[in-house]
Chain A
Protein backbone atom coordinates (compact mmCIF):
# COMPACT_ATOMS: atom_id res chain seq x y z
CA UNK A 1 0.00 0.00 0.00
CA UNK A 2 1.13 3.52 -0.79
CA UNK A 3 2.47 5.57 2.12
CA UNK A 4 0.79 8.79 0.96
CA UNK A 5 -2.59 8.53 -0.72
CA UNK A 6 -4.73 11.21 -2.31
CA UNK A 7 -8.41 11.13 -3.23
CA UNK A 8 -9.83 11.70 -5.72
CA UNK A 9 -7.16 11.16 -8.37
CA UNK A 10 -9.10 13.11 -10.95
CA UNK A 11 -11.92 15.61 -10.56
CA UNK A 12 -13.83 17.81 -12.92
CA UNK A 13 -15.99 20.48 -11.36
CA UNK A 14 -17.72 23.71 -12.29
CA UNK A 15 -16.95 27.28 -11.37
CA UNK A 16 -18.36 28.20 -7.97
CA UNK A 17 -18.54 24.67 -6.61
CA UNK A 18 -16.94 23.69 -3.31
CA UNK A 19 -14.49 20.86 -3.56
CA UNK A 20 -12.31 18.97 -1.10
CA UNK A 21 -9.15 17.06 -1.84
CA UNK A 22 -8.05 14.55 0.76
CA UNK A 23 -4.66 13.24 1.77
CA UNK A 24 -3.80 10.37 4.10
CA UNK A 25 -0.43 9.03 5.17
CA UNK A 26 0.83 5.97 6.98
CA UNK A 27 4.41 7.18 7.44
CA UNK A 28 3.78 8.55 10.91
CA UNK A 29 5.09 11.97 9.90
CA UNK A 30 4.00 15.09 11.73
CA UNK A 31 4.48 17.49 8.84
CA UNK A 32 2.19 17.65 5.85
CA UNK A 33 2.11 19.95 2.84
CA UNK A 34 -0.16 20.85 -0.06
CA UNK A 35 1.33 21.97 -3.38
CA UNK A 36 -0.04 22.79 -6.77
CA UNK A 37 1.87 22.07 -9.96
CA UNK A 38 1.42 24.15 -13.09
CA UNK A 39 3.43 23.86 -16.32
CA UNK A 40 6.29 26.34 -16.30
CA UNK A 41 5.68 27.31 -12.67
CA UNK A 42 6.89 24.21 -10.88
CA UNK A 43 5.53 23.25 -7.47
CA UNK A 44 4.15 26.00 -5.29
CA UNK A 45 3.29 25.61 -1.63
CA UNK A 46 -0.33 26.28 -0.68
CA UNK A 47 -0.44 25.32 3.02
CA UNK A 48 1.64 23.34 5.43
CA UNK A 49 1.02 21.83 8.85
CA UNK A 50 3.47 20.85 11.57
CA UNK A 51 0.84 19.04 13.63
CA UNK A 52 -2.92 19.01 14.17
CA UNK A 53 -2.88 22.39 15.89
CA UNK A 54 -0.29 24.14 13.72
CA UNK A 55 -1.32 25.18 10.21
CA UNK A 56 0.48 27.77 8.12
CA UNK A 57 -0.09 29.56 4.85
CA UNK A 58 2.25 28.96 1.96
CA UNK A 59 3.02 31.25 -0.93
CA UNK A 60 -0.33 30.86 -2.73
CA UNK A 61 -3.00 30.27 -0.07
CA UNK A 62 -5.65 32.68 -1.39
CA UNK A 63 -8.79 30.81 -2.45
CA UNK A 64 -7.84 27.69 -0.48
CA UNK A 65 -8.38 26.40 3.05
CA UNK A 66 -7.15 23.31 4.84
CA UNK A 67 -8.07 21.06 7.71
CA UNK A 68 -5.79 18.72 9.66
CA UNK A 69 -8.26 16.21 11.02
CA UNK A 70 -5.61 13.93 12.52
CA UNK A 71 -1.89 13.38 12.33
CA UNK A 72 -2.47 11.20 9.28
CA UNK A 73 -5.06 13.30 7.44
CA UNK A 74 -4.77 16.69 5.77
CA UNK A 75 -7.47 17.98 3.44
CA UNK A 76 -7.48 20.91 1.02
CA UNK A 77 -10.67 22.78 0.18
CA UNK A 78 -11.58 25.15 -2.59
CA UNK A 79 -14.57 27.04 -1.23
CA UNK A 80 -15.65 28.41 -4.60
CA UNK A 81 -13.62 26.92 -7.42
CA UNK A 82 -12.48 29.08 -10.33
CA UNK A 83 -10.92 28.03 -13.65
CA UNK A 84 -7.42 29.25 -12.77
CA UNK A 85 -7.38 26.69 -9.96
CA UNK A 86 -7.18 24.01 -12.62
CA UNK A 87 -3.92 22.25 -11.79
CA UNK A 88 -2.26 19.13 -10.46
CA UNK A 89 -2.34 19.06 -6.66
CA UNK A 90 0.10 17.16 -4.49
CA UNK A 91 0.17 16.31 -0.84
CA UNK A 92 3.52 15.61 0.80
CA UNK A 93 4.76 14.56 4.23
CA UNK A 94 8.01 14.76 6.13
CA UNK A 95 9.30 14.14 9.61
CA UNK A 96 10.97 16.75 11.78
CA UNK A 97 14.71 17.10 12.12
CA UNK A 98 16.07 20.05 14.07
CA UNK A 99 18.17 22.35 11.92
CA UNK A 100 17.94 20.00 8.98
CA UNK A 101 15.59 19.49 6.09
CA UNK A 102 13.89 16.13 5.84
CA UNK A 103 12.98 14.40 2.61
CA UNK A 104 9.42 15.08 1.52
CA UNK A 105 7.33 12.13 0.39
CA UNK A 106 4.70 12.96 -2.19
CA UNK A 107 1.35 11.41 -2.95
CA UNK A 108 0.34 10.50 -6.52
CA UNK A 109 -1.49 13.76 -7.11
CA UNK A 110 -5.00 14.91 -7.91
CA UNK A 111 -5.72 16.37 -11.31
CA UNK A 112 -8.39 19.05 -10.86
CA UNK A 113 -10.21 20.71 -13.74
CA UNK A 114 -12.51 23.65 -13.08
CA UNK A 115 -14.81 24.44 -15.99
Chain B
Protein backbone atom coordinates (compact mmCIF):
# COMPACT_ATOMS: atom_id res chain seq x y z
CA UNK B 1 0.00 0.00 0.00
CA UNK B 2 1.56 3.24 -1.15
CA UNK B 3 0.46 5.90 1.30
CA UNK B 4 2.16 8.73 -0.58
CA UNK B 5 1.87 8.81 -4.35
CA UNK B 6 4.21 11.03 -6.34
CA UNK B 7 4.10 12.11 -9.96
CA UNK B 8 5.56 12.40 -12.49
CA UNK B 9 8.30 9.80 -12.27
CA UNK B 10 10.53 11.92 -14.48
CA UNK B 11 10.46 15.50 -15.69
CA UNK B 12 12.45 17.48 -18.23
CA UNK B 13 12.34 21.27 -18.04
CA UNK B 14 14.16 23.99 -19.91
CA UNK B 15 16.37 26.37 -17.97
CA UNK B 16 14.28 29.20 -16.60
CA UNK B 17 11.08 27.18 -16.65
CA UNK B 18 8.87 26.05 -13.78
CA UNK B 19 9.18 22.50 -12.48
CA UNK B 20 6.11 21.07 -10.74
CA UNK B 21 6.03 17.79 -8.82
CA UNK B 22 2.85 16.52 -7.23
CA UNK B 23 2.12 14.27 -4.29
CA UNK B 24 -1.07 12.84 -2.82
CA UNK B 25 -1.51 11.16 0.53
CA UNK B 26 -4.17 8.99 2.11
CA UNK B 27 -3.70 9.18 5.86
CA UNK B 28 -5.42 12.26 7.25
CA UNK B 29 -3.32 11.95 10.42
CA UNK B 30 -0.24 13.09 8.50
CA UNK B 31 0.73 16.58 9.64
CA UNK B 32 4.22 17.17 8.33
CA UNK B 33 5.19 17.18 4.66
CA UNK B 34 8.85 17.55 3.70
CA UNK B 35 10.58 17.44 0.36
CA UNK B 36 14.01 15.87 0.06
CA UNK B 37 16.49 16.49 -2.77
CA UNK B 38 18.99 13.87 -3.87
CA UNK B 39 21.93 14.47 -6.19
CA UNK B 40 23.55 11.52 -8.00
CA UNK B 41 25.82 9.55 -5.71
CA UNK B 42 24.56 11.34 -2.60
CA UNK B 43 22.02 10.72 0.08
CA UNK B 44 18.77 12.71 0.17
CA UNK B 45 18.79 16.04 2.00
CA UNK B 46 15.92 18.10 3.34
CA UNK B 47 14.93 20.87 0.93
CA UNK B 48 11.77 22.39 2.37
CA UNK B 49 8.85 21.29 4.55
CA UNK B 50 5.33 22.40 5.40
CA UNK B 51 2.77 21.88 8.14
CA UNK B 52 -0.94 21.73 7.20
CA UNK B 53 -1.81 24.94 9.02
CA UNK B 54 -0.55 26.92 6.02
CA UNK B 55 -1.36 26.53 2.34
CA UNK B 56 1.98 27.65 0.97
CA UNK B 57 5.60 27.92 2.01
CA UNK B 58 8.31 29.57 -0.03
CA UNK B 59 12.07 29.39 0.31
CA UNK B 60 13.89 31.13 -2.48
CA UNK B 61 12.90 29.54 -5.78
CA UNK B 62 11.24 26.58 -4.06
CA UNK B 63 7.58 26.66 -3.02
CA UNK B 64 5.35 24.03 -1.46
CA UNK B 65 1.63 24.36 -2.15
CA UNK B 66 -0.64 22.40 0.17
CA UNK B 67 -4.30 21.47 -0.32
CA UNK B 68 -5.60 19.82 2.82
CA UNK B 69 -9.09 19.04 1.53
CA UNK B 70 -7.70 17.31 -1.55
CA UNK B 71 -4.90 15.64 0.45
CA UNK B 72 -2.38 16.87 -2.07
CA UNK B 73 0.78 18.93 -2.00
CA UNK B 74 3.22 19.99 -4.65
CA UNK B 75 6.71 21.39 -5.11
CA UNK B 76 7.22 24.26 -7.51
CA UNK B 77 10.71 25.21 -8.63
CA UNK B 78 10.71 28.62 -10.23
CA UNK B 79 13.38 29.68 -12.72
CA UNK B 80 14.69 26.12 -12.84
CA UNK B 81 18.46 25.81 -13.23
CA UNK B 82 20.67 22.95 -14.43
CA UNK B 83 21.98 22.70 -10.87
CA UNK B 84 18.46 21.74 -9.78
CA UNK B 85 18.78 18.49 -11.74
CA UNK B 86 18.27 15.83 -9.07
CA UNK B 87 15.78 13.34 -7.73
CA UNK B 88 13.06 14.81 -5.53
CA UNK B 89 11.13 12.89 -2.91
CA UNK B 90 8.01 14.05 -1.15
CA UNK B 91 7.27 12.54 2.22
CA UNK B 92 4.69 12.60 4.97
CA UNK B 93 4.78 12.01 8.68
CA UNK B 94 2.61 12.14 11.76
CA UNK B 95 4.29 14.35 14.31
CA UNK B 96 2.02 13.25 17.14
CA UNK B 97 3.26 9.65 16.82
CA UNK B 98 6.71 10.76 18.04
CA UNK B 99 8.33 8.10 15.87
CA UNK B 100 9.92 10.51 13.42
CA UNK B 101 9.06 8.06 10.65
CA UNK B 102 8.76 9.41 7.14
CA UNK B 103 6.67 7.80 4.40
CA UNK B 104 8.29 8.68 1.09
CA UNK B 105 6.81 9.00 -2.37
CA UNK B 106 8.25 7.17 -5.35
CA UNK B 107 10.59 9.99 -6.38
CA UNK B 108 10.82 12.28 -9.42
CA UNK B 109 13.95 12.61 -11.50
CA UNK B 110 14.23 16.19 -12.72
CA UNK B 111 16.47 17.18 -15.60
CA UNK B 112 16.87 20.87 -16.35
CA UNK B 113 18.26 21.45 -19.82
CA UNK B 114 20.55 24.44 -20.41
Contacts and interface: CB of A to CB of B under 8 A. Distances in A.
B22 to A, nearest CB: 14
Interface stretch (A62-70, A77-85, A90-98): A90-98
B46 A99 contact: no
A42 B104 contact: yes
B60 interface: no
Contact of B93 (A40, A43, A101): A101
Interface stretch (B12-20, B62-70, B72-80, B95-103): B95-103
Interface of chain B, main secondary structure: loop
Contacts of B107: 37, 40, 42-43
Given A40-B9, A101-B95, A104-B102, A92 B46 contact: no
B109 to A, nearest CB: 9
B contact residues, range:
20 to 34
A42 B44 contact: no
A104 B47 CA distance: 11
Interface residues of A, number: 29
Interface of A: 4, 31, 35, 37, 40-45, 48, 56, 58, 90, 92, 94, 96, 98-109
